[in-house]
Chains A and B, each alone.
Chain A
Amino acid sequence: MLPHILESTKLFYPELALSAAFCAVVLADLVFRGNRTLTSLVGMAGVLVALYLVATQAPGEHSAFSDMLAVDGFSRFFKIVILASTFIVQLFSVQSAELKSRSMGTGEYSALLTALALGMSLMAGASNMLMMYLALELTSLTSYLLAGYTREAEDSAEAALKYVIYGAVASGMMLYGISIVYGLTGALDFYSVNLALGAGDINLWTLVLAGVLIMVGFGYKISAVPFHFWTPDVYEGAPVTITALLSVASKAAGFAMMIRFFRVTFADLVMGGQGMGGWAILGGFQWTQLLAVMAVLSMTVGNLVALWQNNLKRLLAYSSIAHAGYMLLGVVALSPEGISAVLIYFVVYLFMNLGAFYIVMLVADKTGSEDMTAYAGLGKKSPFIGVAMTVFLLSLTGLPPTAGFIGKLYIFSALIGAKMIGLVVIAALNSVLSLYYYVRVLKSMFFKDAEPGGAAFGISAAEAALVLLLLIPTLLLGLYFGPLVEYAQASVSMFGIPR
Chain B
Amino acid sequence: MQFLGLGILTWITFLPVAGMAVVLLLGKNNAQAIRWTAAVFTGAQLVIAAMIYLGFDRGMSGVNTIEGFQYVEKVSWIDIRSFSWFGNIRIEYFLGIDGLSVLMVILTALISFIAVFASWGIEKSLKGYFALLLLLDAGMMGVFVSLDFFLFYVFWEIMLLPMYFLIGVWGGPRREYAAIKFFLYTLLGSVLMLLAVIALYFSVSVLDPATGEKVHTFNMIAMMNPANYEPGSILAGVNTTWRYMAFIALFIGFAIKVPIFPFHTWLPDAHVEAPTAISVILAGVLLKMGAYGLLRISFPMFPDEAVVYQIPLAILGFVNIVYGALVAMAQTDFKKLIAYSSISHMGVVILGMAALNTQGVTGAVLQMFNHGTITAMLFLIVGVLYDRAHTRGLNDFGGLMNQMPRYSAVMAVAFFAALGLPGLSGFISEAFSFIGAFQAFRWITIASTIGIVLTAAYMLWTLQRVFLGTLPDKWKSLPDINGRELFTLVPLAVIVIVLGVYPAPAIDLMSSAVNTLVDVVNAHGATALIGQ
Contacts and interface: CB of A to CB of B under 8 A. Distances in A.
B251 to A, nearest CB: 15
Interface in B136-180: 153-154, 157-158, 160-161, 164-165, 168-169, 175-176, 180
Nearest to A499: B85
Contacts of B86: 336-337, 340, 489
B198 interface: yes
Interface in B57-89: 77-80, 82-83, 85-86, 89
Contact of A399 (B125, B161, B175, B199): B161
Contacts of B245: 421
Given A432-B188, A446-B165, A401 B154 contact: yes
Given A394-B161, A421-B245, A435 B195 contact: no
A276 B85 contact: yes
Contacts of A442: 164
B187 A435 contact: yes
B184 interface: yes
B184 A436 contact: yes
> Which of B85, B153, B175, B184 has its CB near the most chain A CB atoms (within 10 A)?
B85
Given A413-B202, A421-B245, A431 B154 contact: no
B316 interface: no
Contacts of A336: 83, 85-86
B504 to A, nearest CB: 40
Interface in A80-107: none
A439 interface: yes
B194 interface: yes
Interface stretch (A140-148, A258-266, A422-430): A422-430
Contacts of B198: 409, 412-413, 416
Nearest to A390: B161
Contact of A429 (B153, B160, B191, B202): B191
A282 to B, nearest CB: 21
A419 B80 contact: no
B192 interface: yes
A41 B292 CA distance: 58
A424 B202 CA distance: 15
Q: Dominant SS at the B interface?
A: helix
Given A394-B161, A416-B234, A482-B78, A400 B184 contact: no
Interface in A460-485: 480-482, 485
Nearest to B160: A399
A443 interface: yes
Size bin of chain A's contact surface: 35 or more
A399 B158 CA distance: 8
Nearest to A275: B85
Given A439-B183, A443-B180, A489-B82, A417 B202 contact: yes
B201 interface: yes
B287 to A, nearest CB: 21
A271 B198 CA distance: 28
A400 B158 contact: yes
A424 B169 contact: no
B195 A481 contact: no
B157 A447 contact: no
A72 B46 CA distance: 57
Contact of A482 (B79, B154, B169): B79
A447 B168 contact: yes
Nearest to B83: A489
Contacts of A447: 168-169, 175-176
Interface in A335-349: 336-337, 340
B394 to A, nearest CB: 29
Contacts of A405: 157
B83 A419 contact: no
A227 B191 CA distance: 29
Interface in B80-112: 80, 82-83, 85-86, 89
A428 B180 contact: no
Contacts of A337: 85-86
Contact of B169 (A416, A446, A489, A490): A446
Interface string A185-213: 00000000000000000000000000000
A222 B365 CA distance: 52
Contacts of A276: 85
Contacts of B125: 380
Contacts of B80: 482, 485-486, 489
A285 B169 CA distance: 54
A171 B141 CA distance: 55
A274 interface: yes
Contacts of A439: 164, 180, 183
B169 to A, nearest CB: 6
Interface in A351-382: 380
B51 to A, nearest CB: 28
A425 B195 contact: yes
A382 to B, nearest CB: 14
A394 B158 CA distance: 11
Contacts of A340: 86
B165 A443 contact: no
> Which of B153, B184, B194 has its CB near the most chain A CB atoms (within 10 A)?
B194
B168 A435 contact: no
A159 B82 CA distance: 45
B234 A446 contact: no
B161 A428 contact: no
Given A439-B164, A447-B168, A412 B195 contact: yes
A497 to B, nearest CB: 13
Contacts of A428: 191-192, 194-195
A416 B202 contact: yes
Contacts of B184: 432, 435-436
B128 to A, nearest CB: 8
Contact of B191 (A274, A432, A443): A432
Contacts of A485: 80, 89
A392 to B, nearest CB: 13
Contacts of B78: 480-482
A448 to B, nearest CB: 9
B195 A424 contact: yes
Interface string A402-414: 0001000100110
Contacts of B183: 435, 439
Interface in A191-248: none
Nearest to B188: A432
A443 B157 contact: no
B85 A413 contact: no
A412 B196 CA distance: 11
A431 B191 contact: yes
A333 to B, nearest CB: 12
Contacts of A424: 195
Contacts of B77: 480
Contacts of A416: 195, 198-199, 202, 234
Contacts of A400: 153-154, 157-158
Interface in B278-335: none
A420 to B, nearest CB: 11
Interface string B344-364: 000000000000000000000
B254 to A, nearest CB: 16
Contacts of A399: 157, 160-161, 187
Interface string B391-415: 0000000000000000000000000
Given A482-B80, A489-B80, 18 more contacts: A274-B85, A336-B83, A337-B85, A399-B160, A399-B161, A421-B245, A424-B195, A425-B195, A432-B187, A432-B188, A443-B168, A443-B180, A446-B168, A446-B169, A481-B78, A482-B79, A485-B80, A489-B86
Interface of B: 77-80, 82-83, 85-86, 89, 125, 153-154, 157-158, 160-161, 164-165, 168-169, 175-176, 180, 183-184, 187-188, 191-192, 194-195, 198-199, 201-202, 234, 245
Lowest 9 A-B CB distances belong to which pairs? A428-B191, A400-B154, A486-B82, A482-B78, A400-B157, A432-B188, A416-B198, A489-B83, A432-B187
8 contacts: A276-B85, A417-B202, A421-B245, A428-B195, A435-B184, A443-B176, A446-B165, A447-B168
